């Protein structure tokens, strides 16, 4: 029988679990096609739930061999079994605590969804967040059921790992005990032919911890950076948050087939191999930075996520928003704070603002879902982190530290909620946060419009906030918006250092007196709130702030706004870029007192997708080809304007000596790459071709290849690169992505089609699929080719992938989320592609929900 239409789950329907678990013992008899899982679970009635309820255990794709309650086998008619649950009526259960035992059989080799226990290149591994454990055995698979686990693995694989501390092991078996109560989504098991790169860490209270990164033989030399990042993360969490690690071992396993970036399973993190493995020859500076940030993120979850978890999946931002905020702080401390902040805001705008502006907009804490996997979004993660940044700004650093200490004290071992989180801040600081709580429940990006006046030495800012309607939320209430402001004198001196204005009403004015002249305001310093700032201003004022602002974020923002103004006029009025912009950028390029990483960011033009959104916000229907052409023209104009200084800049940023991934060296390489991209417009790629030949590291080799392709060359180099790296999966992913993402707009669909016919296009591997199909979607002008060829190609592949891997398919369908920005012809083409996906027989619940929401029909 076919499923009825998938049912939504509502936050308001939450009820506590009927039974709690005191202890779990699992035995795995591993076999690729017929793994047996024996479970022994100690249950007791939950005193906080209604008594006399049936025992309902989640389970999917399991073959039940047998089950028993209190030592007596369940007979036919004593339980009911469906595709998703095993239910035992209360009448069959003893009063008080009891033991449930079951034996099930599962088929890891047939598990292509990569949820639960599956196989990747001959090794067994698991992914249980959010609801993968129910594909392993019958269990109350919900985060508010926490228990200690004992695991025995029986297999002839040489390495057998699970959560917690190692116990007995011998020929063909190993046992693991995790003393910390955890929800099932943090369960992990790995078995394979693996080798470890090892190190150790001593906690500040003197406990030694053995660290291991487990990889396939041959990759052990690519783990140094990840190990180093792990040790720095452990130290940082002790120093900054006072949090120590709590087991004897900490293991990380690198897996090639993985739907996500990485997973924080207790004591046994599982990582997509691209976020572990790195060597100078194969990894770029961006890879190194991602590895550092993701290792830190998953490690920090040990406290924010594992020791304190979420009561239910609606509270996902409780662990993710906070942990993203913590990893951003960490990266800022390890690298440059201003540069990190700019990068984070670029990401936020590119992913979260885009989401918040379209059919997929939802609150940081959603109130309903059909498939929870579809809510691992930029809003929950990145906007969730921004909300914590605002809280910290409002209560101050000391208030934040006090609140976090209270959070760890009060909730250690709990499955908590956003209400618990806010209560901790209220109790620690005495501040009423009821209005602030709207950040968790209201979707949409607030727009803050600013006007000002100056009279008798008093400067007044008038702020107005408005949040647009989003799906299911037509009307919004005013939010608490911290607006960090500084004022500059016309001579460039700062007359008012940064102060935080708290905008709580729909409209509010703030006055600054005692000023001798009308100041130039620097508003939303440090991007103090995730809002769109709307203020009419002049090119001269932007150039002034780019030159004089003491706040590095707003200094960069001024240049960014200038570039957007120029590009918008080039697209809509066919205007040529004016000297104000070109001269301002020239000053940045030549200013050796500025951090090279900052200069690289300031010289980089806004992306085509960013420009499409900017034009759409201004009421203009964006034409992706016109944006692409304008951006190319502006790049050329900038290159010509800077022609005298580019060769010098390119040489000055060349660091002698062997490659080092540190942020200072990476910053120089980033600026050098920016100079190279401009130089290529002047020398037809000669310098880039030379750099490609001479490069001794992936950052420079791949950078040169990308530049060559962007100026219509590089075909020969593509062949050289492929032959050199043929046997390295992660590098070949880059080779694929570069081609689909940089192909000339009219050729993008054909180029991508050819790539999908390449023998190395292993489409069942999520990284490879994302490289090729995701790469095409990144190529804005190519993806939106007026013929619709790219839309059709992407739709074909989503339809093909869905039965294999619903999670990755659903996530990739978001490439269509901006469709309402475009003209009627493109909208009709995208609608056709989406409707074709929606009409596919047997489409997964994941993809059905996403496509329905994008079309606006769910």
CA-based torsion, 838, 839, 845, 849: positive or negative: positive
CA 711/CA 681 separation, integer angstroms: 7
- Smallest gap, in angstroms, from Cβ of residue 304 to Zn ion? 9
CA 661/CA 663 separation, integer angstroms: 6
- Minimal CA–CA distance to 787: which of 556, 607, 625, 596? 625
Confirm if 843 and 800 have CB atoms less than 8 A apart: no
Residue 353 or 381 with smaller CB distance to Zn ion: 381
The DSSP code for 200 is: E
- Minimal CA–CA distance to 808: which of 747, 767, 754? 767
- Smallest gap, in angstroms, from Cβ of residue 382 to Zn ion? 12
Q: 3-class secondary structure for 561-574?
A: HHHHHHHHHHHHHC
- Cα diameter, the chain: 89
Beta strand pairing status for 19-29 and 147-154?
parallel
Orientation of helix 285-300 relative to helix 663-683, angle to 10°: 140
Contact segment (CB under 5 A) with Zn ion among 319-327, 722-730, 799-807, 824-832 equals 319-327
Residue 320 or 608 with smaller CB distance to Zn ion: 320
Query: Which residue has 């202890």 as its token pair?
Result: 23
Residue 130 or 160 with smaller CB distance to Zn ion: 130
CA 780/CA 606 separation, integer angstroms: 13
Residue 320 or 846 with smaller CB distance to Zn ion: 320
* The Cα angle at residue 520 between residues 517 and 524, in degrees rounded to 5: 140
Residue 295 or 708 with smaller CB distance to Zn ion: 295
Is 573 part of the annotated catalytic residue set?
no
- Minimal CA–CA distance to 547: which of 573, 571, 565, 520? 520
- Smallest gap, in angstroms, from Cβ of residue 297 to Zn ion? 6
CA 305/CA 325 separation, integer angstroms: 13
Contact segment (CB under 5 A) with Zn ion among 133-141, 314-322, 616-624, 818-826 equals 314-322
- Residue 150 pairs in a beta bridge with 25, 177
Confirm if 459 and 518 have CB atoms less than 8 A apart: yes
Residues binding Zn ion: number (CB under 5 A): 2
- Smallest gap, in angstroms, from Cβ of residue 261 to Zn ion? 8
- Smallest gap, in angstroms, from Cβ of residue 320 to Zn ion? 5
- Smallest gap, in angstroms, from Cβ of residue 303 to Zn ion? 12
Residue 25 or 379 with smaller CB distance to Zn ion: 379
Out of 129, 289, 298, 849, pick the active-site residue: 298
- Smallest gap, in angstroms, from Cβ of residue 421 to Zn ion? 16
- Smallest gap, in angstroms, from Cβ of residue 375 to Zn ion? 13
Residue 37 or 416 with smaller CB distance to Zn ion: 416
Contact segment (CB under 5 A) with Zn ion among 197-205, 321-329, 591-599, 768-776 equals 321-329
Query: Which residue has 């550092």 as its token pair?
Result: 292
- Residue 195 pairs in a beta bridge with 215
Contact segment (CB under 5 A) with Zn ion among 95-103, 253-261, 323-331, 701-709 equals 323-331
Residue 295 or 678 with smaller CB distance to Zn ion: 295
Full DSSP string of 310-358: ESSGGGHHHHHHHHHHHHHHHHHHHS-HHHHHHHHHHHIIIIIIHHHTS
Full DSSP string of 568-629: HHHHHH-PPPPHHHHHHHHHHHH-TTS-HHHHHHHHSPPPHHHHHHHHHHTT----HHHHHH
- Smallest gap, in angstroms, from Cβ of residue 323 to Zn ion? 5
Residue 309 or 323 with smaller CB distance to Zn ion: 323
Confirm if 817 and 850 have CB atoms less than 8 A apart: no
Residue 351 or 535 with smaller CB distance to Zn ion: 351
Confirm if 157 and 196 have CB atoms less than 8 A apart: no
- Smallest gap, in angstroms, from Cβ of residue 161 to Zn ion? 20
Sequence-distant (6+) residues with CB within 8 A of 745 are: 624, 625, 628, 779, 781, 782, 785
Contact segment (CB under 5 A) with Zn ion among 265-273, 275-283, 312-320, 473-481 equals 312-320
* The Cα angle at residue 182 between residues 179 and 185, in degrees rounded to 5: 135
The DSSP code for 473 is: B
Confirm if 127 and 111 have CB atoms less than 8 A apart: no
- Minimal CA–CA distance to 752: which of 725, 770, 764? 770
CB atoms inside a 10 Å sphere around CB 576: 12
CB atoms inside a 10 Å sphere around CB 855: 17
Contact segment (CB under 5 A) with Zn ion among 320-328, 335-343, 443-451, 649-657 equals 320-328
Query: Which residue has 């979004």 as its token pair?
Result: 377
CA 618/CA 612 separation, integer angstroms: 10
Residue 315 or 844 with smaller CB distance to Zn ion: 315
Residue 323 or 417 with smaller CB distance to Zn ion: 323
- The number of CA neighbours under 13 Å toward the Cβ of 106 is 28
Residue 293 or 703 with smaller CB distance to Zn ion: 293
Return the active site residues: 298
Residues that bind Zn ion (CB under 5 A): 320, 323
């Amino acid at each position: 029988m076919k499923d009825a239409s998938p049912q939504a789950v509502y936050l308001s329907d939450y009820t506590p679990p009927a039974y709690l678990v005191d202890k779990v013992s699992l035995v795995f008899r591993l076999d690729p096609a017929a793994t047996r899982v024996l479970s022994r679970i100690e249950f007791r009635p939950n005193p906080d739930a209604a008594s006399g309820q049936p025992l309902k255990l989640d389970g999917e794709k399991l073959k039940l061999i047998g089950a028993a309650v209190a030592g007596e086998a369940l007979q036919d008619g004593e339980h009911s079994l469906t595709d998703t649950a095993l239910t035992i009526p209360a009448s069959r259960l003893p009063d008080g605590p009891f033991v449930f035992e079951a034996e099930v059989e599962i088929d890891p080799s047939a598990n292509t969804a990569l949820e639960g226990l599956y196989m990747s290149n001959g090794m067994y591994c698991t992914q249980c967040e959010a609801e993968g454990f129910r594909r392993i055995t019958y269990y109350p698979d919900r985060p508010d059921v926490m228990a200690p686990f004992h695991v025995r693995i029986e297999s002839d694989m040489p390495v057998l790992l699970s959560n917690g501390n190692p116990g007995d092991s011998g020929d063909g078996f190993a046992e693991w005990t995790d003393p910390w109560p955890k929800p099932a989504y943090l369960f992990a098991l790995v078995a394979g032919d693996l080798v470890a790169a090892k190190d150790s860490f001593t906690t500040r209270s003197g406990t030694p911890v053995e660290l291991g990164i487990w990889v396939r033989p041959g990759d052990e030399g690519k783990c140094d950076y990840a190990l180093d990042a792990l040790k720095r993360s452990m130290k940082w969490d002790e120093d900054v948050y006072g949090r120590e690690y709590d087991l004897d071992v900490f293991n990380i396993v690198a897996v090639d087939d993985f739907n996500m970036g990485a997973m924080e399973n207790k004591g046994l993190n599982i990582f997509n191999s691209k976020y572990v493995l790195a060597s100078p020859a194969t990894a770029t500076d961006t890879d190194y930075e991602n590895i550092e940030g993701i290792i830190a993120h998953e490690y920090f979850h040990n406290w924010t996520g594992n020791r304190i978890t979420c009561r239910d999946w609606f509270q996902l931002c409780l662990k993710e928003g906070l942990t993203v905020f913590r990893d951003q702080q960490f990266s800022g401390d390890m690298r440059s704070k201003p540069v990190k902040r700019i990068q984070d805001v670029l990401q936020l705008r590119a992913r979260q603002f885009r989401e918040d502006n379209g059919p997929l907009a939802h609150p940081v804490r959603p109130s309903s879902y059909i498939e929870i996997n579809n809510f691992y979004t930029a809003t929950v993660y990145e906007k969730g982190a921004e909300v914590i940044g605002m809280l910290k700004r409002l209560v101050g650093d000391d208030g934040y530290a006090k609140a976090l200490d209270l959070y760890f004290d009060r909730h250690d071992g709990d499955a908590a909620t956003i209400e618990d989180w806010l209560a901790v801040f209220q109790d620690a600081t005495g501040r009423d946060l009821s209005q602030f709580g709207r950040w968790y429940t209201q979707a949409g990006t607030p727009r803050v419009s600013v006007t000002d006046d100056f009279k008798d030495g008093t400067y007044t800012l008038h702020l107005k906030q408005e949040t647009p309607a989003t799906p299911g939320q037509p009307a919004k209430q005013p939010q608490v918006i911290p607006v960090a402001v500084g004022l500059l004198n016309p001579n460039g001196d700062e007359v008012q250092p940064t102060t935080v204005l708290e905008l709580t009403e729909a409209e509010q004015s703030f006055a600054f007196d005692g000023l001798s002249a009308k100041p130039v305001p620097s508003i939303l310093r440090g991007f103090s709130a995730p809002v769109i700032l709307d203020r009419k201003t002049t090119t001269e004022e932007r150039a002034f702030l780019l030159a004089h602002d003491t706040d590095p974020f707003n200094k960069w923002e001024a240049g960014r706004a200038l570039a957007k103004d120029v590009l918008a006029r080039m697209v809509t009025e066919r205007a040529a870029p004016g000297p104000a912009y070109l001269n301002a950028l020239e000053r940045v390029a030549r200013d050796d007192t500025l951090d090279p990483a900052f200069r690289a960011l300031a010289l980089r033009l806004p992306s085509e997708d960013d420009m499409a959104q900017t034009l759409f916000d201004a009421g203009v229907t964006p034409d992706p080809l016109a944006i692409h052409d304008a951006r190319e023209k502006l790049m050329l104009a900038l290159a010509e304007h800077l022609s005298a200084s580019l060769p010098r800049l390119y040489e000055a940023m060349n660091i002698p000596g062997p490659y080092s991934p540190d942020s200072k060296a990476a910053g120089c390489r980033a600026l050098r790459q920016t100079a190279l991209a401009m130089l290529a417009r002047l020398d037809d790629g000669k310098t880039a071709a030379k750099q490609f030949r001479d490069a001794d590291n992936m950052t420079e080799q791949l950078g040169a290849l990308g530049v060559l392709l962007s100026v219509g060359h590089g075909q020969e180099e593509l062949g050289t690169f492929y032959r050199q790296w043929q046997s390295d999966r992660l590098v070949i992913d880059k080779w694929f992505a570069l081609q689909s993402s940089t192909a000339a707009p009219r050729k993008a669909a054909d180029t991508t089609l050819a790539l999908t016919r390449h023998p190395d296009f292993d489409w069942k591997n999520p990284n490879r699929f994302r490289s090729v199909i995701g790469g095409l979607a990144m190529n804005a002008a190519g993806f939106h080719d007026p013929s619709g060829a790219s839309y059709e190609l992407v739709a074909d592949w989503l339809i093909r992938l869905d039965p294999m891997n619903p999670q990755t398919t659903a996530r990739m369908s978001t490439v269509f989320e901006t469709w309402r920005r475009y003209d009627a012809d493109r909208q009709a083409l995208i609608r056709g592609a989406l409707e074709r996906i929606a009409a596919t027989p047997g489409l997964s619940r994941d993809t059905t929900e996403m496509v329905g929401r994008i079309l606006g029909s769910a």
